[in-house]
Amino acid sequence: MSKTVNSTKFRKVNIDDFDPEKYADDTEEGEEQGPSEAEALDVILRNAPVASKSQAVKDRAVNLAIRVLTTFKAAEIDGAVKKLDTQMLDVLMKYVYRGFEFPSEGSSASLLTWHEKVFDVGGSGCIVRVLTDRKHV
C-alpha cells in the first residue's frame, strides 16, 4: 500500500477560508485603487457619447459601462439608481439595452437586475423615452 493512505495533512485545511461570502479584499488603508462604483457610474452617465457619430466610440463606451454595471453588488444597485435624475436614468436604460445586444458571461443577470431597479424608479416612461429617442449610445 501507499505511504500517503494514513496521511492526515489534508484535514488541516480549513474550508471556511475559501467561502466566497467571507472573502475580504486586501486593500491598503492609505490609498484608493480608483473611483468607487458610484463615481464611475456617474462619470459614464454624464459623458455618454449620444451625440457622437463614431460607432467605435459608442461601442467602447458601452463596453466600459457594462463593466461598471457588472461590478456593482445586487444590494448596492437600488441605492445607486435612486440617486439618479430622470435624464441619467434614461441614459442608464440605454446602456442596459445595448448590453443586452452583446451578452457576455454573467452580464445578463446583472443587467436584468439593473433593468428592474431602473424600471421601479423611472417607470414605463423611462422605457418609452429610451425606445423612441433617436440618439443612441
Domains of the chain: 38-132 (1.25.40.190)
The set of cell numbers assigned to 132 is 423612441
- Which alpha helices (H) appear in 33-106, and where do they start and end? 37-46, 55-71, 74-82, 86-101
Q: What does the pLDDT read at residue 14?
A: 74
- Which pTM does this prediction carry? 0.75
Q: What does the pLDDT read at residue 3?
A: 60
Determine the Cα–Cα distance for residues 83 and 45; give it in Å rounded to an integer: 12
Query: By the 8 A CB rule, do 61 and 137 touch?
Result: yes
C-alpha count within 13 angstroms, C-beta hemisphere, residue 107: 19
Q: Is the per-residue pLDDT at 28 higher than 60?
A: no
Length of the chain: 137
Least confident of 12-16, 69-73, 86-90: 12-16
Q: What does the pLDDT read at residue 25?
A: 66
